[in-house]
Amino acid sequence: MCRAFFMHRLSKAEPAVPANLLARPDPIVENDPCPQVFAVRGVDHTVKHTLTSWVAAGLLLAAALPPPIWALLSAWPDAGQQTGWRIAGQVIGIAGLHWLLLALILSIRVPRWDIPFGGLLRLWRIHHWLGAASFVALLLHPLLAALARAPDGPAAVLAVLTPAFSHWMIWAGWAGLIAMMAFLAPTFAFFGKPDYRHWKMLHRLSGAAALLGILHALSLATLLPMPAGYVLWLGLGGMAAAALCWRLLFSRLLGRRAYTITAVAPLTDGVVELTLQGPRLDYEPGQFVYLTPFDPELTSGRSEEHPYTLSSAPSEADLRIAIKDLGDATRALMTVKAGSLAAIEGPYGQFLPLASAEPAVWIGGGIGMTPFVSAARSLALAGRGIDAHIIYCANDPSRAYFEEELVTIVAAVDGLRMHAHYFAEEGPLSRTFLEYRIPDLAQRRLLVCGPQPLIDLALKLASAAGIPRSSVATEEFDLL
């Protein structure tokens, strides 16, 4: 009988593998007559950068710097007539508004536009960084402007911070800053873990914040020469407005596709796999989509979009999405009705390059196995081989809900191997466990998808095993 699966119990400490154990052949490596070979969701911590993504990131960085540098150079000849605090306040205000507009432009979320940046998750991370930098800069802007008037006394400082109501252009800036505080507070969890629905709703204030900021800059700009300043702010503002219009209106009309949920298959307690029938979707294993269910009987999440990794193979006629109960919206999907309608937008991401010939190790835990399941199904249907090892992490066998199918796939796919690790029985995943089963571990690319503790542990093990950081990729959906 073909044995495509091997698990060896090790103690939790696992100080070393005994010599007699090392001498014993791993049945999946040497004694199995079946031809086999092996190859997440989220913020990726270290990703092997392609040349394209490096160029895209460089261009984005280059786009973030010119306006504040331009403002500083414009102010330099008049530095003797202005205080350093005033110049600093104006330059940092220009930088903050510029970064806010760039962040809005990056929120457009058009399928495949994220690929040059290494996937939507990395693009979202850049978006978050720009938003955070913008927020800090725009908070400092009025403070530095007030410091510039400090030598004139407290009344002058208060006049800057609380001007007369007739100075609408200054109050427009304050209103924009307050709007930023409102929609960024849940993003950075200022008041605890944010509610996804409230976060989505408050984020619409970003457009109002940008508009108020542009009005403030156009009416008070003193550093950027005009009309070039008008061209800059109106041009960036127009692109940001176009991105928001796409996200809030046109993506719903043009980007979404209608599907019917034809099957809801329970995999284990709290996990289901949906089958959706509809237009053909061109995607790669490991990519994800935004799913919007419309089942009127859903107790939560109806008409809300959420990201899920596709578990089906791209060559399948229907889409499959595995979903775990992780909150109100996903809990409701455990009982979504077959025959109900849904919308799909995507695909997004760039996590699993199956076309690469580079030997790999895929570490998946829980629902984080879905990109690897998609890849395994794709390889099996295509009759292709791959030099990769699957490390299937689960609390116990009852939670390894894709195990039985993967055993069958591994037996049929040349070069694909799988090793299960059960935390309840073996403790945390260890370097010993990995190196015993994968002797050339340090020469392989490592891809990890699963809960954050597993990702953190895998990163430590990779470092200890000598795997370069550039050869490690992790994914965990955290889009807030």
Q: Which two tokens stand for residue 19?
A: 């010599």
pLDDT of residue 110: 86
Taking CA atoms, 222 is separated from 71, 219, 228, 282, 336, in Å, by 9, 9, 12, 50, 58
Enumerate domains of the chain plus CATH numbers. 5-43+352-475 (3.40.50.80), 65-253 (1.20.120), 256-348 (2.40.30.10)
Question: Is 60 exceeded by the pLDDT of residue 147?
Answer: yes
pLDDT of residue 159: 86
pLDDT tens digits for range 210-265: 999 888 888 775 667 777 778 888 888 999 999 988 888 888 888 899 999 999 99
Using H for helix, E for strand and C for coil, what is the string for 394-409? ECCHHHCCCHHHHHHH
pLDDT tens digits for range 437-458: 999 999 999 999 988 899 999 9
Question: Is 80 exceeded by the pLDDT of residue 359?
Answer: yes
Rounded Cα distance, 18 and 24, in Å: 10
Average pLDDT, the chain: 81
Question: Is 80 exceeded by the pLDDT of residue 33?
Answer: no
Q: Which two tokens stand for residue 89?
A: 């306040």
Q: Are 392 and 406 in contact (CB under 8 A)?
A: yes
* Strand pairing category for 271-277 and 257-268: antiparallel
The predicted model gives 390-396 an average pLDDT of: 94
For 208, residues 6+ apart whose C-beta sits below 8 A from its C-beta are 176, 179
- Where residue 121 falls among pLDDT bands split at 50, 70, 90? confident
Q: Are 472 and 457 in contact (CB under 8 A)?
A: no
Residues in the chain: 480
Question: Is 70 exceeded by the pLDDT of residue 129?
Answer: yes
pLDDT of residue 229: 78
E strands along 168-211, which residues? Answer: none
